Amino acid sequence: MAQSLESIPNNVDLSSDRRLQRALEQWQPNFLQWWKEVGPDGFQGHQVYLRTAISVEANGWAHFNFVRMPEYRWGIFLEPKSERKIGFGDLMGEPVWDEVPGEHRNALRRIIVTQADTEPASVEQQRQLGKTCPSMYDLRNLFQVNVEEGRHLWAMVYLLHRFFGRDGREEADELLQRRSGSHDKPRILNAFNEPIDDWLSFFMFTMFTDRDGKYQLAALAQSGFDPLARTTRFMLTEEAHHLFVGETGVDRIVQRCGELAAAGKDARKEGAVPFELIQKYINLWFSLSLDLFGGEVSSNAADFFAAGLKGRFREDTLGEHKAMGQIYRMEVPEGGELVEQEVPLRNAMNEVLRDEYVKDCQRALDRWNKTLASAGATGMRLRLPHRRFHRGVGPCAGLYFDPEGRFIPEQEWKAREGEWLPTAEDRAFVKSLMHPVIERGKMASWIAPPPKGINGMPIDFEYVKPPEA
Ligand SMILES: [Fe+2]
Ligand SMILES: [Fe+2]
């Protein structure tokens, strides 16, 4: 079943670099072993209608055909090289680097490993979901996300092997050794150790947590380390589909909920997700994902920006690229109250990126609220909680805020937490809805059908075929 290295689609001239080839040849069987052990449980022999990137050109990056997942062609692609200059920070205007500058080696390795770790982690988190898919269309989308996260791991491992020598090889091995949720060797970031064992969580994850990934990748797409910038630019094209899966998945759950409410029916009795549960899951996944941006005030973020390692979202469209002598105002908790603090802009880069993310999430919320309105569910409105709510990172961690961002005493939090975040009962109810629906074109009772199929195919297309007997 294992593929030869020559079959790996790439535009990094893999065949001419013997040292790199040897490193990847050693890593590849371990990757496949990892995929078998903790990748999608079941379905490994099924034929899945998947998109495979076979080149970076418009006609090559979205090639559709039926493949068995272990035979997916995980490729290595960088966006074609262009005459880029460093676009921000202290080295603004200097040529970008094709190799890793010695003084930034540790920082870049850490940035790459942290990003890379999220890719296999999410595959592990989602491995049981196939068994309870709400439709064949959704099953195919799950597997598309899974194989592409696998490819993103390849993309990052290529950078580690190609540019970081022995350390890079060791890091690449460890990426296959950590496990989501493991006690001894957990994944690096917290949200990637949360189990995702129901589809409401899956859609929330691809909506909110993958969206953090989009903003991190977009910031790295500006990097002065050109291979990293070019890799992440290509990853972003695939990531867009994951965000689509999440945003439209939640939208279809919202639609079903709204239609039942408009008809005066009880969502629970109809086997759908009640409105307040959708809100609680939004509160949970939005707050967990906000933490992924890091602390509000960060000297690391300032250093990365100054050195040209990590820029802002769409840095190239901003008017000013040095971010020197400017301040960012934020409200921070101090001695039991909120005070306004002035922070040098460079130290607020995490918060600047988080601002863009919050705007994007609000746009999706507005869309879901439109769906509720057009379903006739008057009076139902979903809201994003305040960014101080339920934080585990930054100055609000360990303090208590309600979804409006107001300080509350610990006792009140304990009494009301269950109004705002999913309780054990809520989770059990959501789980009780999860029964597999795999007949072509059918949908589970808790989700509306999508408006259209994948790649121009009908909604009732046979996206996943059982192994041939
Ligand atoms: Fe990814
Ligand atoms: Fe993703």
- Ligand nearest to the Cα of 202, by number: 2
pLDDT tens for 231-282 read: 999 999 999 999 999 999 999 999 999 999 999 999 999 999 999 999 999 9
pLDDT tens for 131-187 read: 999 999 999 999 999 999 999 999 999 999 999 999 999 999 999 999 999 999 999
In order, the DSSP letters of 203-238 are: HHIIIIIHHHHHHHHHHHTT-SBHHHHHHHHHHHHH
What is the Cα–Cα distance from 185 to 117, expressed in whole angstroms? 12
What does the pLDDT average to over 196-216? 96
CATH homologous superfamily of domain 14-465?
Ribonucleotide Reductase, subunit A (1.10.620.20)
pLDDT tens for 318-332 read: 988 999 999 999 999
Ligand 1 center to 119 CA (angstroms): 5
Ligand 1 center to 401 CA (angstroms): 31
What is the Cα–Cα distance from 415 to 265, expressed in whole angstroms? 30
Look at residue 15 in the predicted model and tell me its pLDDT. Answer: 87
Domain-wise residue ranges, the chain: 14-465
Instruction: Name the pTM for this structure.
Output: 0.96
3-state secondary structure 74-99: CCECCCCCCCCECCCCCCCCCECECC
- Ligand nearest to the Cα of 154, by number: 1
The residues, ordered by sequence, that sit 6+ positions from 90 with a Cβ below 8 Å of its Cβ are 306, 307, 308, 322
- Please classify residue 461 by burial: count the beta carbons closer than 10 Å to its beta carbon, then call 0-12 exposed, 13-18 middle and 19+ buried: middle
CB atoms within 10 A of CB 280: 21
Ligand 2 center to 335 CA (angstroms): 39
DSSP state of 338: E
Bridge partners, residue 10, by sequence: 76
